[in-house]
Chain A
């Protein structure tokens, strides 16, 4: 299985712009399936972007975030060729991590 995280980080001037797309069902727990049974909640709780050992972006997410969420933000600093580490953990304890090079 390929990574659930797609990232693109581009540095220009003194900021780095980051875009990420994460594959996750993000079930809210309020939706029923075709048989009328509730789909149990299953969503990302914490999403972290780390650069140079420091968190540059941390999101506390809940059931209200849509399926396959997309994030875009920028932070001060960042150098071309450096690593940006992205990880998430969901309410079932599942997790995924990936590292992207800043371009």
Chain B
């Protein structure tokens, strides 16, 4: 109830900030990502004045004291450990042609999670880490793997693990297509869909810290920093693709295919507005 009373002014503040970010002097459709990111961050820091910025990456554990205690205990013996080990093993094992994942990535794939997704100016589209991993497999004659769990989660878990603490550093190059991708991601984030008529923002901007049934909603700020995650509910690991598709079906919408253009753009937008927050993945969530 306490946070419920805070909610209305906060939502108004967001609306005000959103408009302030695009002053009427500029046409309303002139995108301004740095102002967006600042407004986004300010909204959350004002909504949760007690939290430090880097705490947002721990999602619901930062919203609730009980859960925070449970989490500290869980982190002593994290359930994603098996997945990190599996990813490390996959990373060190060469493909049939003798090459390995390390050959596909800058710095052998170590400590680079914070630079994904990036905008590929040659392709004119956003490239996510998961997409890059499957492209790496295909370029080396290996069949692609499922985007949602197991092996993909293990690989991204290992890559996130080696990048822990590094701040998200997503760049929008001076290319109108990059800006369009960002805008399309933002549009996806705020568009209501599904039978329940929810947007991503309904839960993760309006209501973080509130309960949805027995669960505490995570703030959108820093939500991708903890990916991939071990979810007790899934009794297993899930990637960003799994999170997006599951969110869509939970609001009774029809999920897109993993790594559809819209999801790639969404990941681009959501990562960009969390720039500066440290990578905390892989994470564990209830």
What residues of chain A have their CB less than 8 Å away from a CB belonging to chain B? 2, 6, 8, 19, 21, 23, 66-68, 70
Contacts and interface: CB of A to CB of B under 8 A. Distances in A.
Interface stretch (B78-86, B98-106, B145-153): B78-86
A23 B77 contact: no
Given A2-B85, A23-B82, A68 B77 contact: no
Given A21-B77, A21-B81, 7 more contacts: A2-B85, A8-B76, A23-B82, A66-B235, A67-B236, A68-B235, A70-B77
A2 B83 CA distance: 12
B4 to A, nearest CB: 34
B77 A19 contact: yes
Interface in B223-281: 235-236
Contacts of A21: 77, 79, 81
Nearest to B236: A67
A62 B235 CA distance: 18
Contacts of A2: 85, 89
B92 to A, nearest CB: 12
A88 B38 CA distance: 53
A67 B77 contact: no
Given A6-B81, A21-B81, A23-B82, A67 B235 contact: yes
Interface in B26-82: 76-77, 79, 81-82
Nearest to A8: B77
A65 to B, nearest CB: 12
Given A2-B85, A66-B235, A67-B235, A19 B76 contact: yes
Interface of B: 76-77, 79, 81-82, 85, 89, 235-236
B284 to A, nearest CB: 12
B82 A68 contact: yes
20 contacts: A2-B85, A2-B89, A6-B77, A6-B81, A8-B76, A8-B77, A19-B76, A19-B77, A21-B77, A21-B79, A21-B81, A23-B82, A66-B235, A67-B235, A67-B236, A68-B79, A68-B82, A68-B235, A70-B77, A70-B79
Nearest to A19: B77
A101 B77 CA distance: 17
A66 B85 CA distance: 21
Nearest to B88: A2
A82 to B, nearest CB: 21
B215 to A, nearest CB: 18
Most chain A beta-carbon neighbours within 10 Å: one of B77, B79, B85, B235: B77
A21 B76 CA distance: 11
Contacts of A66: 235
Contacts of B77: 6, 8, 19, 21, 70
Contacts of B89: 2
